[in-house]
Structure 1
Amino acid sequence: MGAPAERTGVDGALGRRLRGAAGLAALAGLAWVARDVPAALGGRLTGARAERAARSPQFRDGAFRNPGGTRSMAGAPDRNLIRELIFGKQKRRPSAPVPLLRPGAAAPAADAARELNVVWYGHASALIEIEGGKVLLDPVWSERCSPSTLVGPRRLHEPPVRLDELPPVDAILISHDHYDHLDMATVQALTALQSAPFLVPLGVGAHLDRWGVPAARIVELDWSESHRVAGLEITATAAQHFSGRGLRRDGTLWSSWVVAGAHRKVFYTGDSGYFDGYAEIGERYGPFDVTLMQIGAYDRAWPSIHMFPEEAVAAHLDLRGGLLLPVHWATFNLALHDWSEPVDRIWAEAKARDVRLAVPRPGERVTVDDPPAVDGWWQAVA
């Protein structure tokens, strides 16, 4: 028999050309991803910044540590976790658009000296309006929380307002350097749009340096250190978490935050597992008019570094909190639980323990002294 005729399917020359073109396209895509990653990874601690970090009580053996020596994962991922990630039946995305609100100007407070509102923009991003001051928490406006614009967890809803629609703020607080809390593009935009200082845990200033934030606008704090701005005392407080934007872990510190005016006080967890530090913070800095508590992205594989919703209620009580406002849910898919599970669980636990709760829609302003009733709005889209 003579040689078989040239085939034009995927096994023939045409197929080889197509596969070659696809391979080149894939390589080009990888090159693009690789190109936009290095800057987003941030900076490294050097010089005086590294020396200051080394003097911190939280810094031991070349890295920052939790007092209890916790690990970010409870051992290697087990088969059940991997199986659930691939085959799990959890409903990890809403089935309808998340309702968004556009906050207008805040209504004049009956007593401006006691004003206290919170606008939640989604995930951990929020604006605290306190006694005439404005403090922005963990702003992330990018489409993905990732070092790349092409891969990584993608938003489940748009930001309710554009960055250029934010009011002038007095301080921008960053809890730690994970991508869902510290976003290069957002920081660079806010550097141009705002004049406020960035208050960050030790070492995080190295990232801001690399991204062009002026040194005069970077304030790095260790736990229990404070900075005054616009009549507010802002204090970095303990958290039980970890840090890292690349392969190296724990080269920068993580923190929770206390924002205190003359009359009102706010606590924000950042990311943290449940630990006895909450009772200590409540004793030293509380009571708090409102606590912004991390409730999402939990799993039994990492119980020490993210709270379960019931633990968030317990921490709120330890902190001597008044109103509880849950954050760190709804916007990014970062764990295996159902999209609405965190807020369903915290609503049930808050009712069981007689805790005042507000669950705003993204963009909704909550007046702490007169919060909206919890109406289960998320259940219609879950």
Structure 2
Amino acid sequence: MTDVTVRVIGGPTAVVEYAGARFLLDPTFDEPQTYHYGPVTAVKLTGPAVRPDELGPIDAVLVSHEHHMDNFDFSGREFALGAKRVITTEDGAPKLGDHATGLRPFDRTEVGTVRITAVPALHGDPELGLRNGPVIGFVLEADGAPTVYIGGDNASLEVVSVIAERFPGIEIAVLNVGAAKLPARGDVFLTLTADLAARAAALLGARAVVPLHQDGWAHYTQHAEDVTRVFGAAGLGKVLVDARPGAVAVL
């Protein structure tokens, strides 16, 4: 079975090397700044640990959603527009060019030998998730490789249950944590809390969990130390891969 590597760049952004292909997740390469869109203000606190020109070849950019700056900032959009291929939501693809493939939940496409299935994600509670617009995660499968679940900005354990039932062989989960909150969106978590991430890991039966989306933005209310503590208390310390920005995890 081939190794999977995850190079953590910061925020929701990482490079996943899988079955001979290299995928960039939710590119955010801007330097620290404040963004205003609609009623929302989001503050980026740190720049990327890896610059776009240091990434090497990328076979496809996987964009969970293109309408929120903390998952797809100005530099990330510029990178995606010049990429070989982009895979995102059905709503987002027309905004990103002819090389973008739009998927609805449980639609599939391929990159090389990798089968990519879009899976549901709920960006908040059921009411807010609908207002937050379409968001997807991804499941990667390939012969001789472990199945990988990339959660995107999903905050729902119920959604994870559906994915675990549909894909019972998931071995590696890349989860957006951070317990994100924005005043304009009310007292609702927009991504997984550390506790929900630990419960998601148990539901999936994953042997390795790589947390993203836990650093670099002011609206993340939990950070790596919180995730490490909660996973340890849940008896899942050996499952958690504590890879901080700039690190490469080999799984």
Q: If the TM-score is normalised by the length of the shorter chain, which range does it land in?
A: 0.7 to 0.9
Q: Residue 167 of structure 1: which of 47, 52, 56 is its match?
A: 56
Q: Residue 362 of structure 1: which of 239, 245, 251 is its match?
A: 245
Cross-structure match for 2:70: 180
> Match of 1:187, SS?
helix
> Match of 2:101, SS?
strand
CA separation in 1, counterparts of 2:22 and 2:52? 15
Higher strand share: 2
Paired AA for residue 168 in structure 2: G
Contact 2:194–2:231 (Cα < 8 Å) also in 1: no
Cross-structure match for 1:301: 187
Instruction: Give the RMSD, CA atoms, in angstroms.
Output: 2.4
Cross-structure match for 1:134: 22
> Match of 1:321, SS?
coil
Paired AA for residue 157 in structure 1: T
Cross-structure match for 1:290: 172
Contact 2:179–2:194 (Cα < 8 Å) also in 1: no
> Match of 1:135, SS?
strand
* Deviating 4+ runs (over 4 angstroms): none
> Match of 1:114, SS?
coil
Structure of higher CA gyration radius: 1
- The count of corresponding residues between Structure 1 and Structure 2 is 235
1:156: how far off? Answer: 2.7
Cross-structure match for 2:228: 347
Counterparts in 2 of 1:155 and 1:277: CA distance versus 1, 3 Å: closer
Contact 1:122–1:328 (Cα < 8 Å) also in 2: yes
Q: Residue 258 of structure 1: which of 139, 154, 163 is its match?
A: 139
Cross-structure match for 1:312: 197
For each residue in 1:66-108, what CA deviation from the matched residue of structure 2 results, as whole angstroms up to 9, or x when unmatched?
xxxxxxxxxxxxxxxxxxxxxxxxxxxxxxxxxxxxxxxxxxx
Paired AA for residue 361 in structure 1: R
1:133: how far off? Answer: 1.0
Paired AA for residue 289 in structure 1: E
Cross-structure match for 1:155: 44
For each residue in 1:103-147, what CA deviation from the matched residue of structure 2 results, as whole angstroms up to 9, or x when unmatched?
xxxxxxxxxx61211011011001111121111100010124736
Higher helix share: 1
Query: What 5-or-longer segments of structure 1 have no aligned partner?
Result: 1-112, 243-247, 369-382
Counterparts in 2 of 1:297 and 1:314: CA distance versus 1, 3 Å: closer
Query: What 5-or-longer segments of structure 2 have no aligned partner?
Result: 125-129
CA separation in 2, counterparts of 1:134 and 1:141? 18
